[in-house]
Amino acid sequence: MPDPLDIVDPADETSGTADRLARARIRAASMFRALPEEIHDLGRRFEAAGYELALVGGPVRDAVLGRSSADLDFTTSARPEETETILRQWTHDGAIWDMGREFGTLGGVRDGVKVEITTYRTESYDSTSRKPQVAYGETLEGDLSRRDFTVNAMAVRIPSLELVDPFDGLADLARTVLRTPVGPEQSFTDDPLRMMRAVRFVSQLGLRIEDSTADAIEALAERITIVSAERVREELVKLMLGAHPRGGLELLVELGLAAHVLPELPALSLEIDEHHHHKDVYQHTLTVLDQAIDLESPAGSGGPCEAPDLVLRLAALFHDIGKPATRRFEPGGVVTFRFHETVGAKMTTKRMKALTFDKDTTKKVARLVELHLRFHGYADAPWTDSAVRRYVTDAGDLLQHLHRLTRADVTTRNRRKSKALARAYDELEARIDELAEQEEIDRIRPDLDGNRIMEVLEISPGREVGEAYKHLLELRMEHGPLGEDRAIAELRTWWEARQRG
């Protein structure tokens, strides 16, 4: 049997790239051989029936990169009805499902090994839509030609383990280059979402977009507007959760895509005043994102804000989007951005709704944007205990996110100022911990619950109970635990004043 990665190196490859290609072959060959026996058995069944079967796309790319993949996507020369017959025999118990028979896709599972199998396809597109007209294809190479990028246009025949790489995707991975199997203008005209995928792969895999491919994205960026907000959001989330989101976001702006899907980001590139009284807000934002990521807990640690934390990363991205709308030039050349956190929270909500984010994520990110400047009052003058309690209560379940966002928001080059801010926040966190230990601050409640309030005041359920509860909570926030006797006395005093008023 031939080497599973038996390809010829391109003549112009450097020795360094050739070395990476060699290592990639070894890694991939090892991972392909280690595929579950159920997969090898499935390949033998297709082969015995006279059909081709190949592992394709992302799982092949990931294997070359030395990564395991939970997805096992296959393509085949068999038509769906023929695939169904083989799958039913392979699963033993007929555990198959229809993923989209009209597109030739069926799925099955055997002993925990899940597969999805699609008949070879060809596609044609209407210029007004990214949804293709799909027809069955005849060859594996033809099926691969419709893929988005060369690094995803590789396949491994099963069970022979022969690598099929008609567009040199393996070499592109070794060079860390992203390009399309066909002309990029045609590829992005056919499916504009591929332009978002390109910047997403920069973030996820650390690839760089080949020049002609980048030029095509820039020229066709406006076509992204025909893609649904849901699909754009999915790609943006994957970009934000990647290992290199800053690089992806920079390309999103440079290539003109952000102007259509996230216009608030390029808007941060404010013209710097001649005296440099304010920072480059765009670069500051990207630095805050980098620093927030550095403050995430390690993946799998179970710690707060475990990497990758989407809420924290989005809050870092959006935290200053209110600045362009609030910038004012004051006498003496001073530049201000008053209430940009409040304006920014509203803008964040609006943009995230437009991108169809879920309500919970939207609410959390907007709240962090709204609160991200609160600490600076503490840095100017230490707070009372009641102010610290309010800070914690206002942050609620987002306190750990707010801690990290606030620390990440310090990008000054003045080392003394930076150290002073860090010390001030260390002190604030220490005070929060002390108060939490004393009062279980994360579960602050009034000294009397609703039932006790009704009993003391001899009233029935209604708005007055809620108002009394709120009054006692304010006292609790201001003074700490009151104890039942004092709480009852304060409640009666408030009630009598209310009755007189």
| Residue range 414-434, pLDDT digits in tens | 888 889 889 999 999 999 988
- Beta pairing, strands 113-119 & 105-110: antiparallel
Q: What is the pLDDT of residue 477?
A: 83
**Three-state SS at 54:** strand
The partner residues of 124 in beta bridges, in order of sequence, read 133
Q: Which residue has the higher pLDDT, 279 or 280?
A: 280
The whole-number average pLDDT for the span 293-302 is 94
Q: What is the pLDDT of residue 274?
A: 43
CA angle, residues 243, 249, 251, in degrees to nearest 5: 110
List Cα–Cα distances, 378 to 391, 392, 435, 452, 476, in angstroms: 10, 13, 16, 36, 21
- Going by the DSSP 8-state scheme, the letter that residue 130 receives in this structure is S
**Three-state SS at 426:** helix
Omega before 166 cis (within 30°)?
A: no
Please name the helix (run of DSSP H) or strand (run of DSSP E) that holds residue 114, with its range, or none: strand 113-119
The whole-number average pLDDT for the span 194-214 is 96
Average pLDDT over all residues of the chain: 89
Question: With contact defined as beta carbons under 8 Å apart, do 321 and 344 qualify?
Answer: yes
- Tokens matching residue 120: 């070879």
> Which among 133, 132, 103, 98 is positioned nearest to 118, based on CA atoms?
103
pLDDT at 100 over 50: yes
The span from the CA of 377 to the CA of 373, in Å, is 8
Percentages helix, strand, coil for the chain, rounded to the nearest 5?
60, 10, 30
Question: With contact defined as beta carbons under 8 Å apart, do 314 and 355 qualify?
Answer: no
119 backbone dihedrals φ, ψ, rounded to 5°: -65, 145
Question: With contact defined as beta carbons under 8 Å apart, do 55 and 128 qualify?
Answer: no
Q: What is the pLDDT of residue 6?
A: 39
Q: Which of the four pLDDT bands, split at 50, 70 and 90, describes residue 68?
A: confident
Q: What is the pLDDT of residue 271?
A: 56
Alpha helices in 359-462 (DSSP H): 359-371, 375-380, 385-395, 399-408, 415-439, 450-457
pLDDT at 16 over 80: no
Amino acid 217 reads I
Amino acid 399 reads L
The span from the CA of 234 to the CA of 227, in Å, is 11
Omega before 298 cis (within 30°)?
A: no
What pTM value is reported for the model? Answer: 0.80
b/e 91-103 (16+ beta carbons within 10 angstroms → b) = beeeebeeeeeee
Alpha helices in 295-371 (DSSP H): 310-318, 323-326, 340-354, 359-371
pLDDT at 307 over 60: yes
pLDDT at 130 over 60: no
> Which among 242, 243, 244, 289 is positioned nearest to 265, based on CA atoms?
289
Question: With contact defined as beta carbons under 8 Å apart, do 408 and 295 qualify?
Answer: yes
Among 259-273, 374-388, 390-404, the range with the most confident prediction by mean pLDDT is 390-404
The span from the CA of 336 to the CA of 146, in Å, is 51
The span from the CA of 263 to the CA of 324, in Å, is 12
List Cα–Cα distances, 178 to 194, 245, 473, in angstroms: 12, 16, 57
The whole-number average pLDDT for the span 155-162 is 94
User: How would DSSP label each residue in 11-23?
Assistant: TT--HHHHHHHHH
